[in-house]
Copies of this chain bind each other. A is one copy, B any other.
Amino acid sequence: MTQLKLPALDPGTVEERRGSLYPEPFRSRMGDRAKRRLGEACSLTRFGVNLVTLGPGGQSALRHWHTLEDEFIYVVDGELTLITDRGEQRLTRGMCAGFPAGVRDAHHLVNRGGAPATFLEIGNRIEGDNGFYPDDDLMWGFDEKGEYPAHKDGRRY
Contacts and interface: CB of A to CB of B under 8 A. Distances in A.
Interface of A: 1-2, 4-11, 38-39, 41-47, 49, 69-70, 72, 74, 76, 82, 84, 86, 89-92, 94-101, 103, 105, 107, 120, 122, 124, 126
Contacts of A95: 4, 8-11
Query: Which 6 pairs across A and B sit closest by C-beta, in order of nearness?
Result: A42-B98, A46-B70, A46-B124, A8-B97, A44-B70, A43-B100
Contacts of A89: 2, 4-5, 8
Nearest to A43: B100
Given A47-B70, A49-B98, A49-B122, A8 B82 contact: yes
Contacts of A94: 10-11, 76
A45 B72 contact: no
A101 B7 contact: no
A118 B7 CA distance: 19
A10 B76 CA distance: 13
B72 A49 contact: yes
A126 to B, nearest CB: 8
A148 to B, nearest CB: 26
A120 B47 CA distance: 15
Contacts of A11: 94-96
Given A4-B91, A42-B97, 4 more contacts: A4-B95, A7-B99, A8-B95, A122-B122
A42 B107 CA distance: 14
A26 B98 CA distance: 32
